[in-house]
Amino acid sequence: MNRAGALLLRAWGVRLRARGLEHLPRDGAAVLAANHTGYLDFVLLEWAARQRGRLVRFMSKASVFDAPVVGRLMRAMGHVRVERWTGASAYRHARRLVTSGEVVGVFPEATISRSFRVKRLKPGAAALALHATRTTGVVVPLVPCVVWGGHRLLTVDGRRTLRRGVAVDVVVGEPLLPREDESVAELTARLREALVRLLDDAVGHYPQQPRSDADRWWVHADRGGTAPDVATGAALDRAALQRAGAPSD
């Protein structure tokens, strides 16, 4: 699937760029924690990780595995299925992967952000890094990463494009090393600060602009776009979760 994903992106004419790849360890355990703005984020992050010779096992909600084609590929790649009511077993699986030296990918926002900004984070990514560090006695880095531009390809509410030449940037930040007496909440707070900084940097260096007023939906409002602000985006996220019958918190 890694090769298939790369071929798909190439055939689509996606302009892929990556920065900060040196921050992803070439070997050993790591937890990769990324923002979430589109359905192809995991494919784009896998492409970036392959540039460092790493494979990433992503934690992903069960509905992705239930999709006819994508689900079969997700299972074949050994990604971690997260069931709504039995998330603890998925978390234990992810812990085993990390403590065995693999890279596990987590979207700590849990769902796609309709404001395309970093939402409140769930504690799972930080908890994985802390647990693995304390279990193995070796510091397991929590590596922040953002994708910008991938939401233009395919995201929620029917937003998609078949246009060739869309730029997608993947930016990897400096690893966060769990501290000896640090709590999960403290490490999660550090992670969110890092993601916000990385996203601001990615947006600021993005090489493309909307082609028309109708194409401003993917740009933040403070940069001339029409994407929802944080409060409106959060309300839209909650409404979508309620329609799906999922808890909104």
Structure tokens at 204: 């600021």
Question: 178 versus 61: which is more confidently predicted?
Answer: 178
Q: What is the pTM of this model?
A: 0.90
Please report whether residue 147 resides in a domain: yes
Please report whether residue 113 resides in a domain: yes
* Count of structural domains, the chain: 1
Please report whether residue 223 resides in a domain: no
Please report whether residue 79 resides in a domain: yes
Q: How many CB atoms lie within 10 A of CB 83?
A: 12
The whole-number pLDDT of residue 242 equals 82
Average pLDDT over residues 156-165: 90
Please report whether residue 236 resides in a domain: no
The whole domain housing 104 covers 2-214
Question: Which CATH number is 91's domain given?
Answer: 3.40.1130.10
> Which residues 6+ apart lie within 8 Å of 168 measured at CB?
9, 14, 15, 16, 17, 44, 147, 148, 149, 150, 152, 153
Question: 69 versus 200: which is more confidently predicted?
Answer: 200
pLDDT band with cut points at 50, 70 and 90 for residue 200: very high
The whole-number pLDDT of residue 78 equals 61
> Which residues 6+ apart lie within 8 Å of 121 measured at CB?
108, 109, 188, 191, 192, 195
Please report whether residue 230 resides in a domain: no
The whole-number pLDDT of residue 75 equals 57
3-state SS, residue 81: strand
pLDDT band with cut points at 50, 70 and 90 for residue 72: low
Please report whether residue 137 resides in a domain: yes
